[in-house]
Amino acid sequence: MSMRYEGTVYVFGDDVNTDEIIPARYLTTTDPAVLASKCMEDARPGFGAQVKKGSILVAGANFGCGSSREHAPIAIKAAGISCVIAESFARIFFRNAINIGLPIVECPGVTKRLKEGDRVSVDLKEGLITPAEGAPLPITPFPPFMERIVQEGGWMPYLVKQYGRR
């Protein structure tokens, strides 16, 4: 799995919840393309239609708080966001992202260094975020157990490898 991402940054604030990421009125489908088109709808209306493929989403503290809907990281991934960087994440969103293989990194201080429209590169192997200007930002590395799940491409590939398909 590639661990290096480069793109333009979209910046969101603190406590962005999963109702804003994908409102429940769109949860009568599991189709990633439909979910992608409504991505971040109640945080920034129209985002799903404008977002450029390969972009990087930057957010403040407690990103993805609220409901357990996996539709939230699916919408972000299917919208073409290559990587999510936040000051911190809510726990269910964090595990969902790990489980579905959406690259996600915690980087305290990131919202002070990056602003909307900046170019940035993220290297998960090296553990560094490199902005266009200034010093690189270190990221909080995954614990080894999570690293293994990420390496396998998510929780289901990991389980199938460990236990077979039954």
Chain residues in the site for other proteins (CB under 8 A): 15, 17, 19-20, 23-25, 27-30, 42-43, 45, 61-62, 65-71, 74, 88, 90-92, 95-96, 99-100, 143, 145-146, 149, 154-156, 159-160, 162-163, 165-166
Give the Cα separation of 50 and 166 in Å (integer): 43
Q: Report the nearest approach of other proteins to the CB of residue 45 (Å).
A: 8
Residue 106 burial (CB < 10 Å; 0-12/13-18/19+)? middle
Q: Cα dist. 55→6, 64, 117, 156 in Å?
A: 8, 18, 10, 26
* Identity of the residue, 81 or 92, whose beta carbon is nearer to other proteins in the bound complex: 92
* Identity of the residue, 3 or 27, whose beta carbon is nearer to other proteins in the bound complex: 27
- Are residues 63 and 91 in contact, defined by beta-carbon separation less than 8 angstroms? no
Give the Cα separation of 146 and 30 in Å (integer): 25
Q: Report the nearest approach of other proteins to the CB of residue 117 (Å).
A: 24
Q: Report the nearest approach of other proteins to the CB of residue 70 (Å).
A: 4
Q: Report the nearest approach of other proteins to the CB of residue 87 (Å).
A: 10
